[in-house]
Amino acid sequence: MKIRKILLKLFVFFAFFICIIFSFLYTYIKLSPKLDLKKTNNVILYDKNDKAFFKGNGSKEWISLNLIDKDLINATISTEDKRFYSHNGFDYIRIIKSIYSNIKYKNIVEGASTISQQYARNLYLNFDRNWSRKIKEALLALKLEINYSKDEILEGYLNTINYGNGVMGIQNAAKYYFNKGAESLSLAEATMLAGIPGYPQEYSPINNEIKAKKRQRIILNNMVKNNYISKKEADEAYNVKLTYYGKKDSLNLSTLMYYKDAVMDELKDLKIIPDDYLDNNGLKIYTNLDLEAQTNLENAINNSIGNINDIETSSIMVENENGKIIALAGGKNYEKSQYNRALYSKRQVGSTMKPFLYYAALENGFTASSTFLSEPTTFSLGNDQTYTPSNFGNIYPSYPIPLTIALAYSDNIFAIKTHLFLGESAMINIANKAGIKTKLEENVSLPLGTTELNMMEFVNAYSTFANEGIKNDLYLIRKVENENGEIVYKKKKNSKKVFNKNYTYILSELLNGCYDDTLTDYTSPTCISIKPKLTKKYAIKTGTTDNDSWIMGYNKDYTLGVWVGYDNNKPIGRNEYKYSKNIWADTIENYLREKEDSWYEKPKDVIPVLINPLNGKIATNSSKRRKIVYYLKGTQPTTYDGDSMDVLDEKKEE
């Protein structure tokens, strides 16, 4: 009896406490400025040609609720929030039910978001999955419920919800799928559209009609249960053969939303507008987006990994001269995953770290002809510690190879020997100068890419090499105007020379060897598989770990980085390492197809020498391989290729 009294008192206390909190929130929200639902987050993003590619808060195709087909409204309420007109923004019955179901099945099998909560989510321009955003979302849902009628909330929701394929709002959806207005939909058409927002990419009938029809049946059954239609009407609607129009005026690119999210992140970092500015004000944001580059990138992703399980990707393409980000993908499908891997993910980069090592080597007296013995090696690190790296496939020549070959083949033994010879801080110093912000620890395995890096900083660092040693800060936004056209921000160029132009030229020429089939000998250059796709001259480096596949490459004008892997660090299959290379090659080749080849003018202090690239010596008429390689004046080789090649051949035969 005593315990029951204590529990009753606790219940009364908590109930009273909740009432106080709710009363405070209600008063605060009631006294706060009322949101203008048609103006909230009214952001327009423009590409590099000043053409709008995104309009926040849906589009200008806003349609009043009393004009929207009643079947569409009833289908939406039946499926998304059947107690919409009776709750205060939060369906507590549904919340309890979903918690029970999720615990029962030990997985998230049911959600509890109301239409008000979903609409609040739509009013944000990003989908960060953190508690701060969820709290703001809940407060905004409550604000909507207090300040607006249910019909006003439902109207706003239907005008901003995602109907798949980049189509926002019911009026746009009706026109896109059926070439008619939202007031003229049939029951069959209305129930097909009502099912899409639950999983836009999967339930769009243009993407997957089989799943869309199954979803339509669920929608129709819900309408029958809620007494909106009869069973006969549901069956008749389900059996209607629908024809889909599938056209819209704006560009249909899923990856555009990753670019958009990156723009909004940069806007936030710039701190040029107050946090609540977009509640009742508009902005015009002028970006560096190149729709041709973005389209080529998305097409390359779709062609390589679009329908392959849950493997993911991230990619960034920039203009070297100024640091403009012209294309960006944070994943392969925004509707399935809004997580922007290009901005937030850090992964092991593998051998794509080696160019920073070899630039440091060039600065410290190494040349393309510098040699180290490449064979199975155990390195003694002191304090009874050892390190035993291996080459890919355990392939070793077991004789000295020059830097030209070591870089083309991505020889790990050569890299570790160079790293230890220079000292572990030399490579870190170069990486930091280039633009890598992640703290790099001095360790023996650093050249093999054991450190996790982010795509943005990595592309920035490579573009420094590509820009002949001049570092730019990468950026997406070039200008911001308020809704009255007044400039509130304009990007200022921020360039800094950090590397020697002679050495960046030599390094770029060496990286061109990564797909040079004339260098094939005891093994092949790492990018030889994509050589048939390449019609221009590039500097390229790949990097692989058990879980990651990278490729970074550039010419004088552009740098492109691509990563492929699994979010859960699942090992990459043997045949999956090719995906990143194919995405890179297809993207850059299609983008540059109509453009002239762009490479660097040779610096006056650099000279070309015809050498045998297999040993780094000056080539003769009897040399088995001959290649023009570049050296700083005074560092070129002085010994000629000759009988030594026979010795090497004998060594290989052994």
Q: Counting every residue, how long is the chain?
A: 654
Q: How far apart are CA 284 and CA 328, in angstroms?
A: 20
Strand pairing report for 42-46 and 282-287: parallel
Nearest CA-CA partner of 57 in 161, 193, 201, 195: 161
- Our answer to whether residue 312 is catalytic in this structure is no
- The closest of 358, 376, 560 to 455, measured between CA atoms, is 560
Integer Cα distance of 635 and 61 in angstroms: 67
Task: For residue 351, indicate whether it is catalytic.
Answer: yes
Catalytic hit among 351, 369, 410, 623: 351
Q: How far is CA 232 from the centre of its chain?
A: 47
3-state secondary structure 234-280: HHHHHCCCCCCCCCCCCCCCCCHHHHHHHHHHHHHHHCCCCCCHHHC
Residue type, 573: G
**What is the spatial distance between Cα 227 and Cα 222, in angstroms, rounded to a whole number?**
9
Among the options 78, 80, 335, 463, which is catalytic? 80
Q: Distance of CA 11 to CAs 6, 17, 18, 469, 506, Å?
A: 9, 10, 10, 68, 76
Angle CA 607–613–617, to nearest 5: 70
| Residue 143 contacts residue 37 (beta carbons within 8 Å) | no
Burial class of 29 by CB neighbour count within 10 A (0 to 12, 13 to 18, 19+): middle
Residue with tokens 């970092």: 269
Q: How far is the C-alpha of 172 from the C-alpha of 155, rounded, in Å?
A: 14
3-state helix, strand, coil in the chain (%, to 5): 45, 15, 40
d(CA 9, CA 369): 84
| Rounded Cα distance, 419 and 410, in Å | 14
Among residues 202, 325, 210, 220, the alpha carbon closest in space to that of 262 is found at: 325
Q: Which residues are catalytic?
A: 80, 351
